[in-house]
Every structure is written in C-alpha cells, then in structure tokens.
Amino acid sequence: MLTLSLRSFGVRKLRVALTLIAVALGVALISGTYILTDTINRSFDTIFTTAAKGVDVSITPRDAIDDATQDGIAVTTIPASFLAEVERQPGVAKAVGTIDTANVALFTADGDRIGGSGGAPTQLSSDTPPPFSAITYEEGRAPTGMGEMAVLEQTAESEGLKIGDRLKVVGAGPQTELELVGIARFGGVSSIGGFTLIVTSLEQAQALADQPDAYSSILVAADPDVTPGELRDRLRQLPSPTPVNVRTGQQQADQNTADIREALGFLTTALLVFAGIALFVGAFIIFNTFSITVAQRMREFALLRTLGASRRQVMGQVIFEGLIIGLVGSILGLLLGLALAPGLRGLFNAIGADLPSEGTVVEPRTIIVSLVVGTLVTLASGLAPAIRATRVPPVAALREGAVLPRGRGARFITPSGAILALGGVAALAAGLFGGAGIELVGLGAGLVFIGTALLSPKLVPPLAGAIGRMFPGVVGRLARENSVRQPGRTAVTASALVVGVTLVAFVSIFAQGLKATIAEAVDTAARPGTLIVQNTAMGVPLPAAVAGGLERVDGVTSVASVRFSVSRVEGVGRTAVTSVSPTLPDVFDTRWAQGDNELLRDLGRDHAVVTDRWADDHGVEVGDELALTTPTNERLRLRVTGITDDDSGLFAPVTVSNELAQEAFGERQDAIVFAGTSPDEEAAVKARVDRLLEQQFPLAEALTVQEFKDQQAGQVNQILALFYVLLSLSVIVSLFGIVNTLVLSIYERTRELGMLRAIGTSRRQVRRMIRYEAVITALIGATMGIVLGLVFGVAVTVALEDEGLVLSIPVGQLVVLLVLGGLAGVLAAIAPARRASRLDVLQSLAYE
C-alpha cells in the first residue's frame, strides 16, 4: 500500500504540489507568528537581563491603583529625597537615581527631527555609571555634567551622527543644545527596534525632563557580603514617601520581560487568528483537491477492489496519503514560516511598531503546533473524500463513464445549509441585539458562513449564469457551462475565496463606519474654529506650560485642556479618569444624557460626571457618591452631578476637574489642549500658534478640526492596511484553490480540449476559456463574500449604534474589491490556461 501511495503521488505530481502549498501557507503563518513573537520576547529578555547586570536591587514607583505601568514607563516618579535614605542603609554599596521619559524629541542642529514623529518613540534615559551597565559605550565616552549626550549605535549609523556633532533636545523643560560625546549600546544591543535613545548625565536628564527632584527609578548595588535578596528585603522595610516596588535586579528584568510579553500577547493572538483563517481556507482547498482526485481515481480504486482490496484498505490508502501530504505540507510550512517571520516583522515596522528581534528562536512548541495542526487539518479535510472512495463499487472499473455514487449525506446538504445559515442569523441577532455576548456573535458569523458554503452549490448556477453573461461568444458560453458542470466543486473553490473577501469587506465597512463616526463626533463636539494641540509623540502628554502659552496668543478666545489618569473606584475597581478645565464648554460641546455643559465649569474638588454606559453598567445615578483612590493614594468622595452621552472618546468613565487631578491624582500634564478661535480668524491664529509651538514647544502640534479628523482617519487606515495585508494571505491561499481546481478539471477534460484544438480552436481561445472559468469562479466568491461582509458589517454597525457607530458603506472600496476578485481569477488562471493551451492535440485525443 505504501509503495502504491507513493507511486500515485508520482503520477499526480502537480496536484500533490498544489495541495502541499495550500497546507504549507496556512502552517507558515502559524509558525511565522510563533517564531516572530518568540524571537521578540527572547530579544527583550536578553536586553533586560543584560541591562540589569550590576543592579542588585531596583526600586520603581508604584501607583496606588496597582502595579501597572504604561508602555514600560513608570506612571509616577520617586521623590529625590528617598535616594538619600536608600544610600544610608547598611549593605548598600552604591545607589543612583535614573530618569526615563518618552516626552522628548531629538533634532539636528538645523532643526530637523531625528527619529520621526509617528512610528517608533524617542526616549531620554540618564546614564548608568558603573557598577551599573545598562548603557555601555562603543565609541567615545559617557556623557557627564551638562551639555553632553550619547545615542545608540543604530541611530548614529542611520542618521550619520559623529562624535562632536551638536544636537538639539527638547523635553518637558527648555530646548537644549548638546554635544554628542558617546555612541552607546543598551542591554548589549545596538538598537532596540526603532527606538531613538538619548543618554545624558542624570543632572542633564533632570533638567531636560524638568524633574529636578524626582527619579524614574533607583538602582542599587549591594556590598559583597549581602545577597540581592537580603538587601531587597531590607529596603522593603524602609518607609518611602510614595508607593514603590522593590525588586532584585533579576526580578525587575523578569518583570520587564513579562510586561512586554503581555503587551505582545495581543499581537500573537491577532496573528494566530489570521493564521487560523488562512488554514481554514486551506482546509477548503484540501477538501476539494481530495474530493476531485478521489473522483478521478475511481477506476483505480475500483480496480483495487476487484483485485480483492477491502474497503478499509482503500480508505486506508486515501487517509495515508492525507497523512503524508499533511505532514510534508506542515514541514514545508514550518520552513516557510522561518522566511515569513522577518516579513511579518517588516509589516509591523511599516506601521511603526518596530520591535527588536535578534537571531531566530524556534521553540519546540512552534514545531509541534505547526506539524500537529497542519496534519490534523489535512486529515480532517480528506476524511469525507476518503469515505466516499470506499463506496466505489468494483464494477465501476469495468464501466466507462461511471460516476461516483453520491454520499449518503448529500441530500441533506442543502437543508442543513439552510438550517445552519438561519441558526447563524439567529445567533448573530441574539448576540448583537439580545445582549447575549460577543461569543454568540462569533458563533453566529461562523454558522452563517458554513451555512452559506453548504448552500453555495445551489447558488453557483444562477451566479455563474449572471456573471458569465459578461463573456461573449462560444468561449464565454463554454466557460460558463464548465463552471457549473460540477457546481459543488466550483462552490467549494469559491467558498475558500469567500472567507477572505467577507472579512476584507467587513473590515472595510467597519473601518469606514469608524472613520465616519469619528468625523461626526468631532464635528458635533468641537466648536468651529477650535484648534487641537497635542504631542507629536502619540500618547505622550504636554507640559502644562503649553496651555499657558496658548492663552497669551493673540486671537485665542479660550483654552481648555484635558488630562488622563486612573483611579480605583470602590465596588468597581480600576477605572480610567479624565480631567478637564472649566473652560472646556467654550471649545467643546458635550452631549449629555443628564445635565448640561455648565456642569463641567464647576466640577471643583467634590464633583464628577460619568459616562452613560459606565453608569448603566454599575448602577450609578446622579446624586450618588463615588469613593475612589487616586494614583498618589488619596481617598476621595465625589458626588456625581451629570451623565454624559459622548461619542468622541474624550471622556473616560469618570471625569473630574483638572484642579483635582493636579492636587489629588498627581497629574500635571495635559493630554490634549484645545484653543478656541473665532472661525473667520482661524487661519491667522493658527499661524501664530504654530510659531509659538515651533519656538517654545517643538514637541507639540496644532491641528484644525479637519486636520485632526484626517489624522484619526489615517490611523484607522493604517490598521486597516495591516488587516488587509494579513487577510491577503488567506486570499492567496484561496487563489491556489482556484489554480488547483482548474488544473484538475483541465486534466479531466483533456480529451475535450484535444478535440477543440483539433477542430480549430486556437491556443488563445483555449487560454481565454480557462481564464473566463477562473474569473467566473473568483467573481462568484467575491460576490458572495461582499454580500456576507455587508450583512455582517451592517449587523455589527446597527448593534453598535448605541455606541454612536455610524453606518457608512465604502461603495468604491467594495467595487474595487470585486474587481480585484476578478483580477485574482485572471492571475490564478495563468498557469492552468497555459497548460491547457499547450496540451498536445494527438495525445489528448488518445487520452483515456
């Protein structure tokens, strides 16, 4: 049996190759994802561990909410006075404070920004003098005193910086010109992804960060006779003015790695979902290929049966072939994943998520999961065709043109498709509108999809008829007829494409809705003429001086700022907090479920407003008291005076005054500043604002309402592009499905093609016929996918209407998607069409 299987692989080289590709592509995405994320994790692990060398104990600030840090940067700081306390402890050989901040930008002497505004962040870190060695110097020396700095090797290289160059650095404090005295490494590496790292002495860093008496962390080296653990325990006893975490150097490195791992967990999951989708698409193709080859090899099986092979043996052979194809395909996929991992990384670089990845890490888990999943999917997809193979009656070997008996379940396909689709719609509706949860939405979408796939053999003939009408002449007619000859086969081939197209259509509808929602929310909320000022580095706040500066600009009628913080609300837990200036209503029109804009003017120290959704979820009403703990461990009782109904995303669940945020939350910096102008003066005022920002706050940028909307839409588009690229992988897999089906049906129709050629059909005409067939199949898939995508998109949008999501259908994009679907067909047809047109006429005619 083994030799027979291998023998028949030899005969069916091309078919086997195409099936292998379908398995391999899906598996490649899985292994590529694992390899990439493992490599990134390992790189961070190495960097942090190396950086922690010499650090016996590390003291980091802890907010009173919990241990959370944001983006690896401490939420708050440690008062400088605490360092002196630490130094005095027995067993402490050396202790230094550090400054680490992302609120910084680097410019050349001519004022050109280094390390871009979007994308990867810039960070300022103070030097770590011996025995600490997080930062080491490859060239030059460590910056000391004022006026000196160092950058990472990678930055120096890519920007062409040399020792002795003069650069400008802007942080929270005044802009400063520094001399480059060192080229550094961090944690032993020349670059941490796309990070731009600026290293200065501690005093210089404190000046740049405008943090004269606070540190981001304290590093401690122990005396030789004290272990890190002992020293840690000793330092934990030390009362500190603000909450701190005291960890050994190794613990801190592990903690940093764990934080990164957690942050990247989302990435891993997202990538694996896309891999799963591609593999699911692959399953359709494997199923189709096995079905077709089983049908084509009916006589072979029948012959085996006449020669005395049992049904079990025939089935065994088909399953065995599935096993081999699955295993080989998975191994190929695993190898392909090695090549794909850097590509995926490039993808994330392209949207600014530049991450370090040194070397290539292939964990045993990667190999096991890839091989097991790939093989199982192949086996599962090949099972139904294998069972059908056993039904071949031995007499079929003797009869020409006998057809494979229909499976016993065949007549249930259409009814069960209908039931699944309807059940899916019901689940979808229950999930979306009945509040039954997101799981039901996913289940419903899956059921609708499978139901549609089962129904699709019935949909293929009318769709093919309608689409095929585009293609003229007898060639078009033949293509149309050929595509409905085996509606089931065309349906499965098209369904593979449906998966990708549905998701692309859905995502583009959802994103379009999102953009429309943002635009609408911004338009209704921001008063005409309002300028929006924010940090060019995303998520980094602005020094309070920006708002002060804006107030003095001629033509600015009102300035309001918004800050973000967190709290622990009694009975609820960690809750995000927004704080606003009393002037916010001048520039920003909030929608209210209860109350009005004036409430924001007198939030004072005792009032808060909450969002309607949060109020609903936690049963909070106007007049209730909220008991909350701030990051600086203050306990507050605030009375709820109003409930917002806001779609702009500006309001976190709880909103307080800036005054309170500053005093009780320690939040001194603004996330966004609004500057009101009278609309007819907007342009002139903006020019003045731009000049002020350029001179004094180069980190900040002012945007008009329109520019802000465009920027937000740009961010949505960037994510959208990432989705498209990842989904395109499953579309590519489905293209192989079209190629596969075409090749197999050409093989079946060899004699017909020979006859057509004999009676004078040109090679071009043959190619065109195959191309039309592919385009018809592809367009069937694209049409069904777009319709399903529309259904899902509209359903989800309607369900999220309460959240303010607006339905906006990107008609142009959907048309483009349809056209691309057709082009995909053309692409898939190239090789099969060439093959068909090159068939030797005489051999084809003699073919049996």
Partner 1 sequence: MTNAPIVSATDLVRRYGEGEAAVTALAGVTVAFAQGEYAAIMGPSGSGKSTLMHCLAGLDRPTSGSVVVDGVELAHLDDRRLTALRRDKIGFIFQAFNLLPVLTAEENILLPLSIAGRRPDREWFEQLVATVGLGDRLDHRPSELSGGQQQRVAVARALVSRPAVVFADEPTGNLDSKASADVLELLRTSVDELGQTVIMVTHDQDAADVADRIVTLTDGRIVEDRRTQAAVA
Instruction: Write out the residues near partner 1 by the rule CB under 8 A.
Output: 473-474, 477-478, 481-482, 485, 751-752, 754-763, 765, 841-842, 845
Q: Closer to partner 1 at the Cβ: 223 or 481?
A: 481
φ and ψ at 778, to 5 degrees? -65, -40
DSSP state of 70: B
Smallest gap from residue 394 Cβ to partner 1 (A)? 24
Smallest gap from residue 775 Cβ to partner 1 (A)? 18
Q: Closer to partner 1 at the Cβ: 273 or 474?
A: 474
Smallest gap from residue 741 Cβ to partner 1 (A)? 16
Helical ranges in 164-297 per DSSP H: 202-209, 228-236, 249-296
Q: Closer to partner 1 at the Cβ: 454 or 776?
A: 776
Q: Closer to partner 1 at the Cβ: 575 or 761?
A: 761
Q: 510, 502, 560, 554: which is closest to 531 by C-alpha? A: 560
Question: Measured at the alpha carbon of residue 687, what is the angle toward residues 685 and 688, in degrees to the nearest 5?
Answer: 65
Q: Closer to partner 1 at the Cβ: 360 or 762?
A: 762
Q: Closer to partner 1 at the Cβ: 70 or 762?
A: 762
Dihedral sign, Cα of residue 219, residue 225, residue 230, residue 234: negative
Burial class (CB in 10 A: 0-12, 13-18, 19+), 85: middle
Question: Is the Cβ–Cβ distance between 759 and 472 less than 8 Å?
Answer: no
Q: 660, 656, 673: which is closest to 580 by C-alpha? A: 656
φ and ψ at 824, to 5 degrees? -60, -40
Question: Measured at the alpha carbon of residue 9, what is the angle toward residues 499 and 748, in degrees to the nearest 5?
Answer: 65
Burial class (CB in 10 A: 0-12, 13-18, 19+), 759: exposed
Q: Closer to partner 1 at the Cβ: 540 or 769?
A: 769
C-alpha span between 753 and 217 (Å, rounded)? 77
Smallest gap from residue 263 Cβ to partner 1 (A)? 57
Smallest gap from residue 340 Cβ to partner 1 (A)? 41
Smallest gap from residue 836 Cβ to partner 1 (A)? 14
Question: Is the Cβ–Cβ distance between 182 and 204 less than 8 Å?
Answer: no
Which residues have CB under 8 Å from 176's CB, separation 6+? 147, 168, 169, 170, 204, 207, 208
Smallest gap from residue 461 Cβ to partner 1 (A)? 12
Smallest gap from residue 778 Cβ to partner 1 (A)? 20
Which residues have CB under 8 Å from 293's CB, separation 6+? 12, 15, 385, 744
Question: Is the Cβ–Cβ distance between 843 and 788 less than 8 Å?
Answer: no
Smallest gap from residue 474 Cβ to partner 1 (A)? 3
Burial class (CB in 10 A: 0-12, 13-18, 19+), 408: exposed
Burial class (CB in 10 A: 0-12, 13-18, 19+), 597: middle
**Does residue 529 come out as left (phi exceeding 0), alpha (psi in the -120 to 50 range) or beta?**
left
What does the DSSP assignment read for 631-650?
A: TT--EEEEEEEEEE---SS-
Smallest gap from residue 784 Cβ to partner 1 (A)? 23
Smallest gap from residue 478 Cβ to partner 1 (A)? 7
Q: Find how far residue 399's CA is from the centre of its chain.
A: 56
